[in-house]
Amino acid sequence: MADYWNLLMHGGMGSMMWMGLFWIILLIVIGYYIVKYLTDRTSDREGKETPLEILKKELAQGNIKEEEYLKRKKHLD
């Protein structure tokens, strides 16, 4: 039994098992950071307003007149 334990801890199949476990954990960590990076990028895009939304806000605030709004809206379409 001691020879078997020695083989697992100091070479043989045991060291291959630990190396395989290392690579699996490394791939999981890398995958986690890739998914996290991609979801952060999409949430940033969702928070930005479109030019038409900005134009509507300008009209609602009274910064531009309706004629100017229609002119700019036609240009955006």
Extract the tokens encoding 13: 């199949």
**pLDDT at position 45 over 70:** no
The answer to whether residues 55 and 72 touch, using CB atoms and an 8 Å cutoff, is yes
For the chain, the domain total comes to 1
pLDDT attached to residue 11? 57
Q: How confident is the model over 15-25, as pLDDT tens digits? A: 677 788 899 99
What pLDDT does residue 25 have? Answer: 97
> What is the domain extent for residue 38?
2-76
> Which pLDDT belongs to residue 33?
94
Q: Encoding tokens for residue 34? A: 């890739």
Average pLDDT over residues 34-59: 80
pTM of the predicted model over 0.75:
no
Helix-strand-coil split of the chain, %, nearest 5: 85, 0, 15
Q: Give the rounded percent of residues in the chain with a pLDDT score beyond 90.
A: 35
